[in-house]
Amino acid sequence: MHHRHKTASAASAAVALLALGAVTSGVVATTPAGGATARRAGIGCHRPLNILLTNDDGYAADGINAVYQALVGEGEHVKVVAPATNQTGQGGALAYGGTLTVTQPVAGDPNVYAVSGSPSDSVALALGVLYPNGGPDLVISGANAGTNLSRTINHSGTVGAAVTAMDLGVPAIAVSSAHPAEFDPHWDGTGSMNYSGTGTLLRRIVRTLQRTADGCRKLMPGRLGLNVNYPAGTFKGTRVTTLGTREPIPTTYTPTGAGQYKVGYSLDPLYAATDDQQGRTTIDYRLVARGFASITPLDGSLGVQPPGHATMAFVDRLVARLNRTER
Beta-strand relationship, 50-54 and 77-83: parallel
State yes or no: 55 annotated in a binding site: no
Strand runs labelled E in 258-320: 260-265, 292-298
Instruction: Tell me how far apart the alpha carbons of residues 131 and 126 are, in angstroms, rounded to a whole number.
Output: 7
Nearest to 63 by CA among 230, 233, 226, 195: 195
Nearest to 247 by CA among 115, 154, 117: 154
Beta-strand relationship, 77-83 and 102-103: unpaired
State yes or no: 57 annotated in a binding site: yes
The answer to whether residues 269 and 286 touch, using CB atoms and an 8 Å cutoff, is no
Instruction: Tell me how far apart the alpha carbons of residues 290 and 276 are, in angstroms, rounded to a whole number.
Output: 9
Which residues are documented as binding site? 56-57, 144
Which residues are documented as binding site for a divalent metal cation? 56-57, 144
